[in-house]
């Protein structure tokens, strides 16, 4: 053993290291609902501590982690607490954290079954669970990726592969130069990651046929051009501002009859299908061909956890195929054929653990509670003078505005400065708005009440200026 190896192997089994880390994590969670939801100016300023050159020599692992905790922990956003409503950010359920912690020690690579039989097994099991809980076709396969950005990319790659293959063109071999044209149709309100995926896939964004949306951000079905066998229709379960859902039944059936491919971006909204009270929102989505959904938003797995689902296994694995002499394919499942990555961490452990710990009724209740809290938030804000809720709160998103853009921006700034909760801004139908996403299992009715009070003070302050 070299001296460095001696140091490292002593640290590998150093109980103090791991016990102290777990204690730091626990201390963090115990106070996360009391700390400012966004870091204070002082904590942000203290981050300059990290502006130093790389150390010339090794130092003790415990010291390094202590340093991270000392300067890092106060500069986190408190999304593990109950009052972070920014973007669409889930909390992390205990079973997920626990499985992630255990998986950290295992440190499995998941490219092939032979690299991690346990990860391959659970990917197979959870694939089946997702197919059932979302009511998707039995042929549906899943790829476990970082998030819906990657899931959209994979779903659209499968679409590109299949639509061109149907026209006698193998895009994996022949590329795009000289390929038959595709007709790409999506709503004006498509999420930016859809446009990014189309760019990355060489399909560009100039030729997209954008369909007008209604006042909730749903595609107007009558404005969708007639689909044909070259058509890729991209729909949405959960508009990132309003939470609105496209009308899947009519659109999917018409597209499927014409030989088109339908992809649904359901990053947070697809989970409505797993909730009895809200399943009407996704009715008909099972007629699509591919779906993107996150674990780390509505389901509250730890980051990062995205899933691509595809009814056409051959299209997905054809699009993501790779070969090399040293690869060993297993008899069950080799994750790398379902994702863009070769090496990947075993994020399936957390997804499995969260689903297993909630069960069918727990998932249902988690989703319906997010919806109820969003309704509570919307009611509380509507009662404040000058604030208007602009969307139908069908899921977990609330879009609210004051009378003028200027006042909306001031209210937003004052709420953010108070740090009782955190919400973000957006633009919606030409107006500045405040966007609230209730996405954490930890949010209680008291959290919503405290946050609405912060809004109330912000409105008062904005009227005084
Ligand atoms: C969050 C989101 C995405 C991107 O998902 P990531 O997990 O952040 O990569 C795509 N579409 C919608 C509708 C989203 O809300």
For residue 268, give the ligand 1 atom closest to its CA.
15
Quote the ligand 1 centre to 197 CA distance (angstroms): 12
Whether 328 shows a pLDDT value over 90: the answer reads: no
Mean pLDDT, rounded, of the chain = 96
Both tokens of 66, joined, read: 């202590």
Whether 217 lines ligand 1, by a CB cut-off of 6 Å, is no
pLDDT of residue 20: 97
Whether 267 lines ligand 1, by a CB cut-off of 6 Å, is yes
Whether 322 shows a pLDDT value over 80: the answer reads: no
Quote the ligand 1 centre to 275 CA distance (angstroms): 20
Binned at pLDDT 50, 70 and 90, residue 465 comes out as: low
Quote the ligand 1 centre to 445 CA distance (angstroms): 26
Whether 96 lines ligand 1, by a CB cut-off of 6 Å, is no
Strands 397-401 and 431-437: antiparallel
Residues recorded for the chain: 465
Quote the ligand 1 centre to 192 CA distance (angstroms): 9
Residue-wise pLDDT tens digits, 218-272: 999 999 999 999 999 999 999 999 999 999 999 999 999 999 999 999 999 999 9
Protein residue with least CA distance to atom 2, ligand 1: 267
pLDDT of residue 413: 98
Pocket test for ligand 1, best of 294, 300, 399, 437 (most atoms within 8 A of CB): 294
Whether 324 shows a pLDDT value over 80: the answer reads: no
Which residues, in sequence order, are CB contacts of 435 under 8 Å at separation 6+? 241, 397, 398, 399, 423, 424, 425, 426, 428
Binned at pLDDT 50, 70 and 90, residue 333 comes out as: confident
For residue 236, give the ligand 1 atom closest to its CA.
13
What would the mean pLDDT of 54-60 be, rounded to a whole number? Answer: 97
d(CA 458, CA 411): 5
User: Which of 406, 403, 394, 442 is CA-nearest to residue 421?
Assistant: 442
Pocket test for ligand 1, best of 85, 87, 88 (most atoms within 8 A of CB): 88
pLDDT of residue 331: 78
- On whether the pTM is more than 0.95, the answer is yes
Residue-wise pLDDT tens digits, 365-387: 999 999 999 999 999 999 999 99
Quote the ligand 1 centre to 64 CA distance (angstroms): 33
pLDDT of residue 356: 98
| Secondary structure (3-state) at 365 | helix
d(CA 150, CA 140): 18
d(CA 118, CA 107): 12
């Amino acid at each position: 053993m070299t001296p460095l190896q001696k140091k490292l192997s002593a640290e590998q089994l150093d109980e103090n290291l791991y016990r102290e880390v777990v204690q730091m994590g626990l201390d963090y969670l115990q106070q996360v609902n009391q700390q400012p939801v966004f870091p204070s100016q002082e904590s942000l300023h203290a981050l300059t501590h990290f502006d130093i050159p790389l150390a010339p020599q090794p130092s003790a692992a415990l010291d390094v982690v202590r340093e991270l905790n000392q300067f890092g922990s106060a500069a986190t956003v408190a999304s593990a607490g109950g009052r972070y409503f920014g973007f669409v950010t889930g909390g992390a359920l205990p079973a997920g954290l626990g499985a992630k912690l255990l998986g950290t020690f295992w440190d499995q690579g998941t490219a092939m079954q032979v690299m991690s039989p346990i990860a391959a097994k659970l990917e197979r099991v959870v694939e089946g669970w997702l197919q059932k809980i979302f009511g998707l076709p039995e042929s549906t396969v899943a790829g476990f990726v970082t998030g819906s950005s990657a899931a959209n990319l994979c779903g659209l790659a499968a679409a590109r592969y299949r639509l061109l293959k149907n026209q006698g063109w193998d895009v994996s071999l022949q590329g795009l130069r000289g390929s038959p044209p595709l007709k790409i149709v999506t709503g004006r309100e498509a999420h930016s990651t859809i446009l990014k995926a189309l760019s990355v896939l060489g399909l560009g964004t100039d030729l997209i046929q954008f369909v007008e949306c209604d006042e909730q951000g749903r595609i107007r079905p009558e404005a969708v051009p007639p689909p044909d066998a070259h058509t890729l229709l991209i729909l949405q379960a959960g508009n990132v501002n309003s939470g609105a859902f496209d009308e899947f039944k009519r659109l999917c059936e018409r597209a499927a009859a014409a030989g088109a491919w339908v992809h649904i971006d359901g990053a947070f909204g697809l989970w409505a299908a797993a909730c009895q009270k809200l399943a009407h929102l996704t009715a008909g989505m099972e007629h699509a061909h591919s779906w993107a959904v996150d674990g780390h938003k509505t389901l509250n797995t730890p980051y990062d956890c995205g899933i691509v689902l595809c009814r056409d296994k051959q299209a997905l694995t054809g699009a993501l195929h790779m070969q090399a002499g040293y690869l060993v394919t297993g008899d069950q499942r080799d994750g790398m054929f379902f994702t863009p990555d070769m090496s990947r961490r075993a994020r399936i452990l957390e997804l499995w653990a969260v689903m297993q710990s909630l069960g069918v009724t727990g998932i249902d209740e988690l989703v319906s509670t997010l919806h109820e809290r969003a309704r509570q938030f919307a009611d509380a804000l509507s009662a404040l003078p000058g604030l208007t809720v602009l969307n139908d709160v069908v899921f977990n998103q609330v879009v609210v505005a004051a009378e003028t853009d200027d006042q909306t921006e001031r209210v937003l700034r004052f709420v953010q400065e108070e740090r009782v909760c955190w919400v973000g801004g957006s633009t919606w139908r030409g107006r500045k708005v405040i966007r609230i996403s209730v996405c954490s299992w930890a949010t209680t009715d008291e959290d919503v009440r405290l946050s609405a009070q912060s809004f109330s003070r912000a409105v008062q302050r904005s009227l005084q200026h």
